[in-house]
Amino acid sequence: NAGVTQTPKFQVLKTGQSMTLQCAQDMNHNSMYWYRQDPGMGLRLIYYSASEGTTDKGEVPNGYNVSRLNKREFSLRLESAAPSQTSVYFCASREGLGIYNEQFFGPGTRLTVL
Amino acid sequence: AQTVTQSQPEMSVQEAETVTLSCTYDTSENNYYLFWYKQPPSRQMILVIRQEAYKQQNATENRFSVNFQKAAKSFSLKISDSQLGDTAMYFCAFMKPTDSWGKLQFGAGTQVVVTP
C-alpha cells in the first residue's frame, strides 16, 4: 500500500499561472481533505470531500477549487496563483465519518508563487 | 469557534530525558476529541495519540502520554525516554463530535529537537 500520494512534491509558479495538485489514496477511504500549512499557523482545511461525489468548503477555500474525480482521487486547482498561496499543501484521507477514524496524510507539496 | 494554542515554539531535550509540550484550547463544547500529531523532517503527519474528553483516564501510547485537564482546557504531551527519532514538529488538534466528517483545528506547533 502506498497510502496517500501527492504530485508534484515541489512546484514554482508565477503569479497568475494555474495548476492542479493531484492526490490519490489506495486505502479505499471515503473521505478526503486538502490542507495548507503556513509557518506559525498549523494546518488549515481548504476543502474536503466526505464521500465520492460531494465536496465542501473548509476554513480557507478562497482561490481554490477541487474535484473528487473518483473514490481514489481528489485534486486541488489554483486557477490564478497568488503569492499568498505560497504554502505546503497536504492531502489526507479517512475511512469515513466517525471520530475514531484516523486521518492519513500524504507527504505534501511545497508550492512557491513568485 | 475553537482555538488551539501551543505556547512553546521550540523545545530542546537530551536523549533519554523527558519533555512536556503544552496545549490549551478554547471551546464551549462539553464533549470533543483531542489529538497530537508528529511531523518529522520528512513532512509526513503521523497521529501520536488521541483523547476523548468524556474519558477521565489519560491516554498513553508507549513513551507518549497526555495530561488532560478538562476544567483547565489543557492537553499536554509528555515524551519519555526521548530518542533522536522524536525530533519533529508536534501539533495539537481539536475536533468537535458534530464534525464527524473530520474537521481538525490545529495549533501552530512546537518544534522538538532531541540532542545526543
The shortest C-alpha distance from A39 to chain B (Å) reads: 8
- Is the model's pLDDT at B108 over the cut of 80? yes
Tell me whether residues B106 and A97 touch, CB distance under 8 A.
no
Give the position of cell 533519554: B16
Average pLDDT of chain A to the nearest whole number: 92
The pLDDT of residue B101 is 67
Convert the pLDDT of each residue in B67-107 to its tens digit: 999 999 999 999 999 999 999 999 999 988 776 567 788 99
- pLDDT in the model for residue B99: 67
First to last CA, chain B: 41
Do A90 and B104 count as a contact with CB atoms less than 8 A apart? no
Q: Is the dihedral of CA B71, B98, A66, A73 positive or negative?
A: positive
| Residue B102 sits at the chain A interface (C-beta within 8 Å) | yes
Interface test with B, best of A33, A43, A48 (most B CBs within 10 A): A43
* E runs forming strands in A3-108: 4-7, 10-13, 19-25, 31-38, 42-49, 56-57, 64-68, 74-78, 87-94, 104-105
Contact assignment for A105 to B97 by CB distance below 8 Å? no
Beta carbons of A34 and A23 less than 8 angstroms apart: yes
Residues B43, A101: C-beta atoms closer than 8 Å:
no
Distance CA B88, CA A77 (A): 29
Cβ <8 Å between B107 and A50: no
Instruction: For residues A68 and B48, give the distance between their C-alpha atoms in angstroms, rounded to a whole number.
Output: 29
Quick: pLDDT tens for A51-106.
Answer: 888 999 998 999 999 999 899 999 999 999 999 999 999 999 988 766 667 889 99
pLDDT average, residue stretch A35-60: 91
**Chain B: closest CA distance from residue A96 (Å):** 7
Q: What is the 3-state secondary structure (H, E, C) of B1-30?
A: CCEEECCCCEEEEECCCCEEECCEEECCCC
